[in-house]
Amino acid sequence: MTPLKTVYDSEPDNSLEKSMSLVASAIADTSRVSILCALMDGRAWTATELSVVADIAASTTSGHLTRLLSGGLVICLTQGRHRYYSLAGHHIAGLLENLMGVSMHPLISPQSRTPVSLRYARTCYDHLAGELAVKIYDFMQQEKWIEADGTALTPVGKTHFEKLGAVLNSRPRRKSCCPCLDWSERRFHLGGDAGSALMTLFLQKGWITRTQGYREVHLTGSGKSAMYRLFGLNLT
């Protein structure tokens, strides 16, 4: 795949306020929000697939994608004659998660507005989020798998990850481990390279399954058994 460069203004603008307003305006459209939320599953999508998700015409989708590209929110990859779009990085996924949390009215319970399946288990770009992920994070803190501030795996945690078969990047380009605020639970789940490694393991083992076009993930029967065996979670 060959990355296409994001289009920026020819004359650089050093105004932080203007840069922030440009990003905000790029997001300020329900169709573009739908596109960004679809890309939160961490996979690359074609413009046609995104037009179906956003329920808009293909020509309209092209315009929205151009706006998101120019705002630095998404990137475009080419493979042969096809173009695929994905979020520009983990920082954009974090921005969207935080925006979702802010958008929830503080006087209304998130459970009354959020679908149960989405609240229970979903993707947060390349790691697991939702109630299930929060419970796993709590277990890891109790068992001293992660440091108290969540910024690193302890030696005990690294040993357990190795036993699980969760492959950690020896030279990650981002944080090796970090707490990620869960917008529906308002508590932390595991992010960073460690969170990504754990979700990859769950998928490889068939403990969770994904559906194209949706952020929800489904816990399988073997997954429930694994959650109990490894993290003490009784999910029957």
Q: What is the CATH topology of the domain spanning 2-88? A: Arc Repressor Mutant, subunit A (1.10.10)
Q: Write down the pLDDT at residue 184.
A: 83
pLDDT of 1 reads: 52
> Which is nearest to 166 in space by CA: 188, 139, 193?
193
What integer pLDDT is reported at residue 54 of this predicted model?
86
> Residue 10's pLDDT is what?
46
Phi, psi angle pair for 144, to nearest 5°:
60, 35
Residue 4: per-residue pLDDT: 53
Q: Dihedral sign for Cα 70, 72, 73, 77, please.
A: positive
Q: Where are the domains of the chain?
A: 2-88, 107-231
Per-residue pLDDT of the chain (236 residues; tens, 9 = 90+): 555 544 444 445 567 888 888 888 899 999 999 999 889 888 888 999 899 888 889 889 999 999 999 989 999 988 778 888 999 988 898 888 888 877 765 544 444 456 788 889 999 889 999 999 999 999 999 999 999 888 999 999 999 999 999 999 888 788 889 998 888 887 899 999 999 999 999 999 999 998 777 789 999 999 999 999 999 998 86
Angle at 149 between CA 146 and CA 151, to 5 degrees: 65
72: left (phi over 0), alpha (psi -120 to 50) or beta: left
- The pLDDT assigned to 111 comes to 45
Q: 0.75 cut: is pTM over it? A: no
d(CA 68, CA 3): 15
Q: How far is CA 56 from the centre of its chain?
A: 24
